[in-house]
């Protein structure tokens, strides 16, 4: 009897098939052939019907068929949660066959952006295989993200502090207005103000091409020092871990009156240095009778004490410093005093020690401008590339321009090679390795290599590189891993799918060999249907592609159309990650061609051979209802003479051709034939190099017949849905016109 052992129900190719030549009952067969070495629950099927364990003392006949199917487990930690298993499988199946929006809703890696037949982008735009990007004008999410992005903002650009916000991740080459990694602060030295700013360029490594303040290279500002900090390296230019007491707002110090105390640092933090900024905004002088300035002196005292996390004092006040300053100056005086203290949480107060001269001739006021606490300097900031900038305030640098620091950088990512494995991070704009980084990185999907189809990415990288297709974009707004991968892949005319637990990237590209061949012989009766999507007054006649130009570093657009089309009703799409006009034009033309030439949606059911093709595969469909050739079986062969199951239609004065279904389900080459003695006979002009099977032990060889170019309809698969013992396939007609760019 024949025995099939299915260890992985999601990968039937790995099933074991063997034969039992001894008469045994089912329980003895299980023990004899070690049916389940992993001790997992499994089900026994006898001739396709489940067999309960209480009947395992039954002895099958030698002509019977036994199958043992291991059940998938879930729950983690060795536990089993059947409900979780069912839900997981349901999510994978649903996500595989719904659109990208639904797939993103199922989770970061729980689905594939599959067959979205119609995308609304200002007008109706049909694209079944690779859904068109949504219009930035119609997507509230995209609009919201754009408004909050310091780089893509439609309003004024600038550096922002986003507490609890998204740490940006850049891929390719792009301009970035980096967010603050820490709160900026100022210090005074020699009566000059220095601004300290720490920015995060991107997660991961990058190569800095140019630093600018607004539109001017930073090298033009002699008063600016900067440091590029690689991931896991220390900031050496200044201590970025500084807190400021918000209550200090330029209070004037008066004699015999304490200002404060003000707690310096938040609860659960400790500082080892306290900074006090003092300002004499009118200067410090006395206007004497001769018209000159005489020196004046101010004295003040700063005290501190330790407090607990609730703000309760832990000790008495002690003096941080008793300061004296003298000057004859009618310009503002700014001073910073730093005091080292034992590590702890502190409250600080200050008072003036001398009497203020209130004469109209004197400038004798002192103001407490700010209070800072210096925490322990962090060793590193993790997997982030940082920019530390120290700027001296001058006429060249205003407070406004100090928040318009930007950089043109190229992201460094690892590349994979089948021979050598992963490289060190290198500067590149690759679509393929950007996708891999999103899937593998700690700030991304954290997937191991075996969950990513790396060989497929390596091949696609060569295609994209040869075409000049790149991804240059910044993810600085909240999104899912799956949506991020989808956006990057869409820039390369591709989309991600999840297949057998592995992430694959499917590109819409020309294919010449069908993966599977379907005729009325293996299409289930009454399951075949065609939907023709007819154009209407809302159908787009052109595509307006919005992209972020790397020439001007701002949004631009280009309108694309087919040669005989108008531009009266364009569809608006936002191709995120595209920064090149030629790239945008290619994708716009592709969308126009799909919109015109792919409008036949075909659905049919077949048996388990329907699991052979996957999303994006090319298949051959022969069906006489649509006059897509004729199909049937080869009944017998004698030399080059074929006797066929169908009476063929032979058209006068035309050449006729035939092709065959091979053992793996794919379609053979095309062979020219001529009519035999009757319509159901065909004579091959060339002998095939494979066996044409006409026996009864298995299915006979199927054929597709017709005139040149009319033997079958070539279609791209956009959905494969298991339906019990059958499989439903959805596809769209293929057209060479979509690949002209």
- The band of 477, judged by pLDDT with boundaries at 50, 70 and 90, is confident
Q: How far apart are CA 487 and CA 503, in angstroms?
A: 15
CB 149 within 8 A of CB 170: no
- The band of 79, judged by pLDDT with boundaries at 50, 70 and 90, is very low
C-alpha closest to that of 386 among 232, 242, 239, 244: 232
Average of per-residue pLDDT across 327-353: 96
Q: Which pLDDT score, from 0 to 100, does residue 534 have? A: 87
Q: Which pLDDT score, from 0 to 100, does residue 615 have? A: 94
Q: Is 147 helix (H, G, I), strand (E, B) or coil?
A: helix
Most confident range (mean pLDDT) of 55-69, 71-85, 672-686 is: 672-686
Average of per-residue pLDDT across 731-740: 94
pLDDT in tens, 411-458: 999 999 999 999 999 999 999 999 999 999 999 999 999 999 999 999
**pLDDT above 60: residue 40:** yes
Task: Catalogue all structural domains in the chain, each as residue range(s) with its CATH number.
Answer: 2-70 (3.10.20.30), 242-375 (2.60.120), 602-739 (no CATH)
Q: Which pLDDT score, from 0 to 100, does residue 78 have? A: 43
**pLDDT above 50: residue 335:** yes
Planar angle of CA 704, 705, 707, nearest 5 degrees: 135
Q: Which pLDDT score, from 0 to 100, does residue 314 have? A: 95
| Residues 6+ positions from 524 with CB-CB distance below 8 Å | 604, 605, 606, 607, 726
Pick 75 or 186 by higher pLDDT. Answer: 186
**pLDDT above 80: residue 74:** no
**pLDDT above 80: residue 144:** no
Residues above pLDDT 70, as percent of the chain? 89
CB 628 within 8 A of CB 517: no
CB 219 within 8 A of CB 387: no
**pLDDT above 60: residue 659:** yes
Q: Which pLDDT score, from 0 to 100, does residue 399 have? A: 64
CB 517 within 8 A of CB 619: yes
As given in the structure block, the two tokens for residue 673 are 């034939």
Q: How far apart are CA 325 and CA 364, in angstroms?
A: 11
**pLDDT above 50: residue 273:** yes
Pick 250 or 107 by higher pLDDT. Answer: 250
Q: Which pLDDT score, from 0 to 100, does residue 138 have? A: 37
- The band of 98, judged by pLDDT with boundaries at 50, 70 and 90, is very low
Average of per-residue pLDDT across 210-237: 92
- The band of 156, judged by pLDDT with boundaries at 50, 70 and 90, is low
- The band of 398, judged by pLDDT with boundaries at 50, 70 and 90, is low
CB 391 within 8 A of CB 222: no
Give the torsion sign (CA, 144, 149, 154, 156): positive
Average pLDDT for the chain: 87
Q: How far apart are CA 125 and CA 119, in angstroms?
A: 6
* Cα–Cα separations (whole angstroms), residue 519 to 603, 612, 704: 13, 15, 7
- The band of 303, judged by pLDDT with boundaries at 50, 70 and 90, is very high
Pick 271 or 139 by higher pLDDT. Answer: 271
**pLDDT above 60: residue 110:** no
- The band of 82, judged by pLDDT with boundaries at 50, 70 and 90, is very low
Q: Is 703 helix (H, G, I), strand (E, B) or coil?
A: strand
**pLDDT above 50: residue 646:** yes
Q: Which pLDDT score, from 0 to 100, does residue 507 have? A: 97
**pLDDT above 60: residue 243:** yes
12-16, 653-657, 674-678: segment of lowest average pLDDT: 12-16
Q: How far apart are CA 660 and CA 633, in angstroms?
A: 9
Average of per-residue pLDDT across 316-341: 96
Q: Note the Cα 522 to chain centre separation in Å.
A: 39
Q: Which pLDDT score, from 0 to 100, does residue 13 have? A: 58
- Phi and psi for 303 in degrees, rounded to 5? -125, 160
Q: How far apart are CA 99 and CA 117, in angstroms?
A: 9
Task: Find the helix or strand (DSSP H, E) in which 146 lies.
Answer: helix 140-148
Pick 403 or 313 by higher pLDDT. Answer: 313
Predicted TM-score of the model (pTM): 0.77
- Phi and psi for 145 in degrees, rounded to 5? -65, -40
Paired residues of 354 in beta bridges:
none
What is the full DSSP assignment across 4-36? EEES-TT-GGG-EEEE--S---HHHHHHHTTS-
pLDDT in tens, 485-511: 999 999 999 999 998 889 999 999 999
Q: Which pLDDT score, from 0 to 100, does residue 674 have? A: 96
Q: Which pLDDT score, from 0 to 100, does residue 537 have? A: 82
Pick 423 or 397 by higher pLDDT. Answer: 423
Q: Which pLDDT score, from 0 to 100, does residue 77 have? A: 43
Q: How far apart are CA 117 and CA 126, in angstroms?
A: 6
CB 512 within 8 A of CB 152: no
| Residues 6+ positions from 531 with CB-CB distance below 8 Å | 600, 601, 603
**b (16+ CB within 10 A) / e for 190-227:** eeebbbbbbbbbbbbbbbeeebbbeeeebeebeebbbe
Paired residues of 714 in beta bridges:
620
- The band of 567, judged by pLDDT with boundaries at 50, 70 and 90, is confident
Q: Which pLDDT score, from 0 to 100, does residue 431 have? A: 98
């Amino acid at each position: 009897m024949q025995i099939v052992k299915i260890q992985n129900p999601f990968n039937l190719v790995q099933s074991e098939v063997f034969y039992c030549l001894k008469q045994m009952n089912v329980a003895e067969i299980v023990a004899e052939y070690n049916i389940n070495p992993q001790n997992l629950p499994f089900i026994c099927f006898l001739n396709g019907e489940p067999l309960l364990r209480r009947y395992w003392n039954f002895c099958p006949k030698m002509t019977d068929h036994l199958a043992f199917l291991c059940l998938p487990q879930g729950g983690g930690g060795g536990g089993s949660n059947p409900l979780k298993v069912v839900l997981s499988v349901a999510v994978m199946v649903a996500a595989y066959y719904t659109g990208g929006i639904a797939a993103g809703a199922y989770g970061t890696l729980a689905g594939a952006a599959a067959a979205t037949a119609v995308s609304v982008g200002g007008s109706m735009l049909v694209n079944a295989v690779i859904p068109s990007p949504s219009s930035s004008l119609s997507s509230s999410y995209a609009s919201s993200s754009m408004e909050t992005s310091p780089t893509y903002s439609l309003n004024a650009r600038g550096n922002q502090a986003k507490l609890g916000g998204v740490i940006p991740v850049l891929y390719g080459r792009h301009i970035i207005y980096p967010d603050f990694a820490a709160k900026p602060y100022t210090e005074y030295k020699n009566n000059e103000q220095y601004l300290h700013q720490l920015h995060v360029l991107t997660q991961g490594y990058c190569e800095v091409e140019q630093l600018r303040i607004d539109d001017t290279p930073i090298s033009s500002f002699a008063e600016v020092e900067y440091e590029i900090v690689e991931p896991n390296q220390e900031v050496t230019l200044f201590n970025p871990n500084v807190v400021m007491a918000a209550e200090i707002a330029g209070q004037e110090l008066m004699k015999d009156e304490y200002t404060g105390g003000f707690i310096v640092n938040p609860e659960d933090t400790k500082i080892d240095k306290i900074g006090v900024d003092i300002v004499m905004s009118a200067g410090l002088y006395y206007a004497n009778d001769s018209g000159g300035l005489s020196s004046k002196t101010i004295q003040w005292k700063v005290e501190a004490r330790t407090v607990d996390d609730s703000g309760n004092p832990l000790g008495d006040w002690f003096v941080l410093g008793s300061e004296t300053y003298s000057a004859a100056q009618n310009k503002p005086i700014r001073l910073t005093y730093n005091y080292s203290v034992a590590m702890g949480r502190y409250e600080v107060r200050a008072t003036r020690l001398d009497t203020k001269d209130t004469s109209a001739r004197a400038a004798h006021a002192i103001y407490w401008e700010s209070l800072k606490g210096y925490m322990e300097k962090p060793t590193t900031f993790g997997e982030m590339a940082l920019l530390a900038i120290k700027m001296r305030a001058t006429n060249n640098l205003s407070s406004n321009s100090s928040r318009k620091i930007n950089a043109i950088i190229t992201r460094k990512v690892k590349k994979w090679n089948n021979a050598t494995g992963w490289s060190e991070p290198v500067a590149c704009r690759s679509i393929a390795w950007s996708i891999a980084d999103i899937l593998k990185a700690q700030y991304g999907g954290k997937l191991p290599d075996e969950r990513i189809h790396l060989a497929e990415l390596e091949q696609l990288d060569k295609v994209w590189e040869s075409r000049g297709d790149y991804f240059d974009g910044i993810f600085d707004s909240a999104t899912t891993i799956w949506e991020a991968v989808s956006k990057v892949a869409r820039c390369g005319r591709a989309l991600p799918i999840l297949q057998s637990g592995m992430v694959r990237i499917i590109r819409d590209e020309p294919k010449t060999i069908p993966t599977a061949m379907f005729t009325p012989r293996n299409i289930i009766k009454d399951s075949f249907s065609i939907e023709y999507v007819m154009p209407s007054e809302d159908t787009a006649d052109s595509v307006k592609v919005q992209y972020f130009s790397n020439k001007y570093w701002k949004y631009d657009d280009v309108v694309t159309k087919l040669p005989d089309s108008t531009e009266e009703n364009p569809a608006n799409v936002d191709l995120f990650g595209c920064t090149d006009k030629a790239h945008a034009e290619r994708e716009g033309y592709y969308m126009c061609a799909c919109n015109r030439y792919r409008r036949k949606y075909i659905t049919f059911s077949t048996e388990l051979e329907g699991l052979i093709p996957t999303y994006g595969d090319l298949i051959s469909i022969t069906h006489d209802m649509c006059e897509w050739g004729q199909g049937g079986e080869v009944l017998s062969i004698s030399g080059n003479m074929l006797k066929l199951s169908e009476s063929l239609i032979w058209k006068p004065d035309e050449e006729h051709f035939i092709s065959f279904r091979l053992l793996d389900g794919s379609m053979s080459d095309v062979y020219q034939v001529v009519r035999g003695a009757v319509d159901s006979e065909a004579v091959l002009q060339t002998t095939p190099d494979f066996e044409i099977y006409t026996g009864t032990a298995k299915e006979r060889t199927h054929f597709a017949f017709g005139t040149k170019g009319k033997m079958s309809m070539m279609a791209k698969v956009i959905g494969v849905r298991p339906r019990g013992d059958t499989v439903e396939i959805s596809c769209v007609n293929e057209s060479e016109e979509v690949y002209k760019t």
